[in-house]
Amino acid sequence: MIKAIYPGTFDPITVGHLDVIKRAAKVYDKLIIAVMENKKKTCTFSKEERKKMIEKCVKNIKNVEVVVGEGLTVDLARKNNCKIIVRGIRAVSDYESELALATANMNLDENIETVFMVSKPELSFLSSSIAKEIASFNGDIKDYIPSAIIKEVSKKLYK
């Protein structure tokens, strides 16, 4: 069984994240979505809120599990017997930062590989930050946030 882990802050999960999840779930026997903390970001939603929202979005994907993670991604991957870390790439700027993370993870555990999944072109501009920015000005986020969670995201983001 090939298990992979897809870590991220997912604050909130976007249709771009969900696309990567659906595609990765077709490639791996088991996909663990890890809701992580990023000390460089201030999150709008708690880890538990993010976990519940992701679970709503993936409830029909049988080989996906959602966990709240802490610490280093490689440690969480090891703990869950995952040999693959899945990362989404939207643009060249993502590649540069993701390459640095992948290299650091490789140095921490050479038995865990990072696999990059390229965003679909129509989703390449999308991020949680953009969705939150649009919502902060009461803009329509239905094309950015999965429909399963649009109401709860809107409730928290719209002013």
Concerning whether 136 is annotated as a catalytic residue, the answer is no
Which residue in 50, 90, 119, 132 is the catalytic one? Answer: 90
Concerning whether 17 is annotated as a catalytic residue, the answer is yes
Which residue in 41, 79, 142, 151 is the catalytic one? Answer: 41
Residues 6+ apart with CB under 8 A from 100: none
How far apart CA 131 and CA 154 sit, in angstroms, is 10
Residues 6+ apart with CB under 8 A from 41: 9, 11
CB environment 35-53: b (16+ within 10 A), e (fewer): bbeeeeeebbbebebbbbb
Which residue in 17, 47, 51, 87 is the catalytic one? Answer: 17
Which residue in 47, 51, 87, 128 is the catalytic one? Answer: 128
Concerning whether 59 is annotated as a catalytic residue, the answer is no
Burial class (CB in 10 A: 0-12, 13-18, 19+), 61: middle
Beta bridge pairs of residue 67: 34
Concerning whether 41 is annotated as a catalytic residue, the answer is yes
Alpha helices in 35-159 (DSSP H): 47-58, 73-79, 92-108, 128-136, 150-157
Instruction: List active site positions.
Output: 17, 41, 90, 128
